[in-house]
Structure 1
């Protein structure tokens, strides 16, 4: 396969400067404020986004290197296949979060529920559509029994240094 080149469109700012003890999902960062600064030339692309309450952020896990195909996720002590987890050490270090959009000022988006490390390169923004993106009947595999923990569990150092 050919390599794919992706250029960041902006940067995510948050109060989290250390990967340890961060929330592992936006539900653990309820009301935590952050902001996104988009490249000035891309600001016209933000037109009409302010009408959405939530947005998807696709970003680069810029502090993550290497990966293992099996990992012990934050919410459970058992080893799991990498692709059945949201572990940050991945072949293509792409992260995904749904955050609340508070307001837009020029090329700056003010967001809430941010669970991302400060200075994270933003790759894309997509609007959240409640009719397209919500599946109440969805089943979450091994994590089904642990979902209520996601808001309380914090990261540790298990994904900071590559093992391979």
Structure 2
């Protein structure tokens, strides 16, 4: 069954993200109807047309090429982007039709809270990937290390700045030992 938010995106091109912090609103129960609407600024293109078999992180997608097609009304926002070698892409998990607060993630057999994982079935189904910018031609950005499903709606682009965005001495929780296998692990349909 398709969620209201997914159908709304298909019909209007607008991604709805619930504002309420209660699970009742996430489950469609009566309560706050407040919503935050995100308008996609473009579309991410990749060779991955099926969720099954695609990389689960950019580290498993080294060299995989794709493009970002930015919509014309956002063209001025691309100014000066070529000076950065990597970009942070923020996008909607548009194929995720439900929210689950505990999941068995790809890299473990134990159940974890959704906020301790990178699983897509989140209260706000928003994804983030760091990709390499290899070029630009007008409204098209050429990117590599793409782990994103083809046709994914792009919500925002931010420059990756190593001095701001890298913390090598950080702890990785339950992923401390499991993350080593991320580069070779492929997605399946568990979150569809």
TM-score by length of 2: 0.82
Task: Tell me the residue number matched to 2:181.
Answer: 149
Structure 2 segments unaligned to the other structure (5+ residues): 1-19, 21-33
Task: Tell me the residue number matched to 2:120.
Answer: 88
3-state SS, counterpart of residue 96 of structure 2: coil
**Once the two structures are superposed, what CA deviation does each residue of 1:87-134 show, in whole Å capped at 9, x if it has no partner?**
011111100000000011100000000000000000000000010000
Indicate which of 18, 21, 31 corresponds to 2:63: 31
Shift of 1:85: 0.3
Structure 1 segments unaligned to the other structure (5+ residues): none
Distance of 2:119 and 2:55 partners within structure 1: 13
| Pair 1:19 & 2:69 matched | no
3-state SS, counterpart of residue 150 of structure 1: helix
TM-score by length of 1: 0.96
Number of aligned residue pairs: give it.
160
Whose RCO is larger (CA < 8 A, sep 6+)? 1
Distance of 2:35 and 2:191 partners within structure 1: 25
| Pair 1:40 & 2:72 matched | yes
Bigger Rg, which one: 2
Structure 1 vs Structure 2 CA RMSD: 0.7
Task: Tell me the residue number matched to 1:61.
Answer: 93
